[in-house]
Amino acid sequence: MEIIASPAAMQRWSENARRRGETIAFVPTMGFLHEGHLTLMREGRKRATRLASSLFVNPTQFGPNEDFSRYPRNFEGDCELMRTVPVDVLFAPEPDVMFPAGSQTWVEATEVTTGLCGDRRPGHFRGVTTVVAKLFNIVKPHLALFGEKDFQQLRAIQRMVADLNFDLEIVPVATVREADGLAMSSRNAYLTPEERQRALALSRALRAAGECMKRGARIPAQLAGAAQAVLERTPGVEIEYVEAVDAETLRPIDQLDRAVVVAIAARVGKTRLIDNAVLTPASESEKLSLSKESAG
Amino acid sequence: MEIIASPAAMQRWSENARRRGETIAFVPTMGFLHEGHLTLMREGRKRATRLASSLFVNPTQFGPNEDFSRYPRNFEGDCELMRTVPVDVLFAPEPDVMFPAGSQTWVEATEVTTGLCGDRRPGHFRGVTTVVAKLFNIVKPHLALFGEKDFQQLRAIQRMVADLNFDLEIVPVATVREADGLAMSSRNAYLTPEERQRALALSRALRAAGECMKRGARIPAQLAGAAQAVLERTPGVEIEYVEAVDAETLRPIDQLDRAVVVAIAARVGKTRLIDNAVLTPASESEKLSLSKESAG
């Protein structure tokens, strides 16, 4: 695996690959890799002839009181995991190369970053779309893969790519979970064993919302309510939000006439966790058969 | 000259050219071409093997009370002029292709668009950098040429390119002037013959600032003052601003210890005109020889 620190050298690598007719898949990361990242990388490996990744803990997406300085890091371990995929090239720049003094240009997707995490983490998504725009211009991929775990991030990046005409495809990949349902996240490393157990309430809450949908829920508030009830029953889980919104625009909707995403943010101890599930309304016939079952 | 309206088709054209090893120069325009645009195109023609231009009157860079709807247009005439250069490919999209319903992503260079026109035209430079980012992703040039006449625009685009790691070179080209000094602008078409005469006050004011610099001015306010005096002597010229600021950052400076740009915006009748000159402080020996002359 080639490791490149300079944006200009990375651009040369990609231009050369493109001129040879290669296709480049790209998985940007903040490191401390888990099976979720590796799933993205294996999927990218399948879809292109060259696989690029990046490792950069982006300071501009952390708020002043967030965990930038203590975000978990393990460069050597990450490189070893990438070599198992294998990743062909890793772009790993220094912070002051990505954001040198005088940097002042921001990329912002506006509506899709309103609500959910956007309201609780001011500036977060602006930092995400800015660094991803930079990485796209540096790595020049044909496709880039993002996990559905960070659902609002995925939607913000999809909007940015469409709105700014980036000539690449965004490939969403389903959230990878531990056997017991916990969504994989680098931040899970912060959890004590006891907190780790409590954190299962998030995926349990999403399953409850899914069952509520199957029983024929008519409005999004029913789904959010079902999820919230589960979270509230779990001591030591502090809800930040539980919402069911349009799965495309992330705007509130009144009726379950299209796909919704049920999104949760909650604190378990000092650790902020997020999870989500996309739910599609049951067709009328499905609802009928379900109501027969419960009647029978 | 090939004319392309679809972003995807333009991207294919450029990808094919790049794979053949061609280099692409790009001159974005809002049409109603004059010698300034043609100078940019001829310079681009020299510096690359393929020359692309675009013609798009960008609605997002006009304020609600500005001249978007009456901005001068002459598509056929512009195409004829481009063929004389010759331009190889013209990207000419429809507005709803560039900004379809749901568009919501903005690119903004912040500090460099504070002051000067940035303060008087809220949202203008955000519209400029956003459309130029889109055009760069669609046309995929190796270099793009911009006139120094729109100096704050040039600096905003240079910042955006550096900050977002666009893999291309920005080539600034000196303002092209009429024989009598008037900076060429599509908006000159709005001027009556009498206004056209009054408009010469802008370039005259900049020459006065230049002479003030040669006489050994010590602070930027002296340069702005010399320019302002000329404008104030001309009836029918309404000053919007006259400022002398750091030629790189466009921030105010106290001393003439580096290059400054003297920038003017003024209304002549209903037409808003801008012009500028970059001035470099005279060295001590130059000042000495000048003071000897005036003493002699």
State the nearest Cα–Cα gap between A291 and chain B, in angstroms: 38
Average pLDDT of the residues of chain A: 95
pLDDT digits (tens, 9 = 90+) for B44-82: 999 999 999 999 999 999 999 999 999 999 999 999 999
pLDDT (average), residues A173-200: 97
pLDDT (average), residues A71-93: 98
Closest CA relative to residue A210, chosen from A255, A256, A169: A256
Local confidence band at B291 (pLDDT 50, 70, 90 cut-offs): low
Closest CA relative to residue A231, chosen from A260, A271, A203: A203
A202 in helix, strand or coil?
Answer: helix
Superfamily covering domain B2-173: HUPs (3.40.50.620)
Instruction: Determine the Cα–Cα distance for residues A162 and A167; give it in Å rounded to an integer.
Output: 9
Closest CA relative to residue A60, chosen from A111, A107, A23: A107
Does A296 have pLDDT greater than 50?
no
Contact A10, A139 (CB under 8 A): yes
Does B284 have pLDDT greater than 80?
no
What percent of chain A shows pLDDT beyond 90? 94
Contact B240, B267 (CB under 8 A): yes
Residue A111 token pair: 């509506």
Residues from chain A contacting residue B140 (CB–CB below 8 Å): 167
What is the structure's pLDDT at A131? 98
Mutation target to probe the A interface, by most A beta carbons within 10 A, among B105, B157, B168 is B105
Contact B49, B18 (CB under 8 A): no
Local confidence band at B286 (pLDDT 50, 70, 90 cut-offs): low
Q: Which chain A residue lies closest to B10 (C-alpha atoms)? A: A167
* Contact (CB<8Å) A7/B165: yes
Q: Where are the alpha helices (DSSP H) in chain A?
A: 7-19, 35-47, 75-84, 95-98, 116-120, 124-139, 151-163, 193-198, 200-214, 220-232, 284-295
What is the structure's pLDDT at B172? 98
B134 in helix, strand or coil?
Answer: helix
Q: Is B128 on the interface with A (CB under 8 A)?
A: no
Does B285 have pLDDT greater than 70?
no
Q: Which residues of B68-90 are buried (b: 16+ CB within 10 A; e: fewer)?
A: eeebeeeeeebbebbeebebbbb
Contact A73, A133 (CB under 8 A): no
What percent of chain A shows pLDDT beyond 70? 95
Q: Which chain B residue lies closest to A22 (C-alpha atoms)? A: B19
Residue B239 token pair: 């000053």
Closest CA relative to residue B52, chosen from B140, B161, B176: B140
Does A53 have pLDDT greater than 90?
yes
State the CATH architecture for A186-285: 2-Layer Sandwich (3.30)
- In whole angstroms, what separates CA A46 from the centre of its chain? 20
pLDDT (average), residues B144-152: 98
pLDDT (average), residues A37-50: 98
Instruction: Determine the Cα–Cα distance for residues B29 and B82; give it in Å rounded to an integer.
Output: 11
Give Cβ neighbours of residue B263 (< 8 Å, ≥ 6 apart).
B116, B151, B152, B241, B242, B243, B244, B245, B274, B275, B276
Does B295 have pLDDT greater than 90?
no
Q: Which chain B residue lies closest to A168 (C-alpha atoms)? A: B137
Known catalytic membership, residue A142:
no
Local confidence band at B296 (pLDDT 50, 70, 90 cut-offs): very low
Instruction: Determine the Cα–Cα distance for residues A98 and B243; give it in Å rounded to an integer.
Output: 33
Give contacts of B 96-125 with A, CB under 8 A.
Answer: 102-112
Instruction: Give B91's strand partners.
Output: B4, B54
Give Cβ neighbours of residue A288 (< 8 Å, ≥ 6 apart).
none
Identical fold at A2-173 and A186-285?
Answer: no
Q: What is the dihedral of CA A243, A248, A253, A255, to 10 degrees?
A: -100
pLDDT digits (tens, 9 = 90+) for A262-277: 999 999 999 999 999 9
Does A286 have pLDDT greater than 80?
no
Q: Which chain A residue lies closest to B164 (C-alpha atoms)? A: A134
Residues from chain A contacting residue B132 (CB–CB below 8 Å): none
pLDDT digits (tens, 9 = 90+) for B185-220: 999 999 999 999 999 999 999 999 999 999 999 999
Average pLDDT of the residues of chain B: 95
Q: Domain extents for chain A? A: 2-173, 186-285
* Contact (CB<8Å) B106/A105: no
What is the maximal distance between C-alpha atoms in chain A?
A: 69
State the nearest Cα–Cα gap between B9 and chain A, in angstroms: 11
pLDDT digits (tens, 9 = 90+) for B237-261: 999 999 999 999 999 999 999 999 9
Whole-number Cα distances in Å, A170 to A25, A28, A39, B35, B80: 10, 12, 15, 42, 40
Give Cβ neighbours of residue B55 (< 8 Å, ≥ 6 apart).
B29, B30, B31, B75, B78, B90, B91, B92
> Kind of pairing, strands A271-279 and A260-268?
antiparallel
pLDDT digits (tens, 9 = 90+) for A217-228: 999 999 999 999
What is the structure's pLDDT at A290? 54
What is the structure's pLDDT at A291? 55
What percent of chain B shows pLDDT beyond 70? 95
Does B288 have pLDDT greater than 90?
no
* Contact (CB<8Å) B108/A108: yes
Instruction: Determine the Cα–Cα distance for residues B150 and B58; give it in Å rounded to an integer.
Output: 15
State the nearest Cα–Cα gap between A128 and chain B, in angstroms: 13
Local confidence band at B290 (pLDDT 50, 70, 90 cut-offs): low
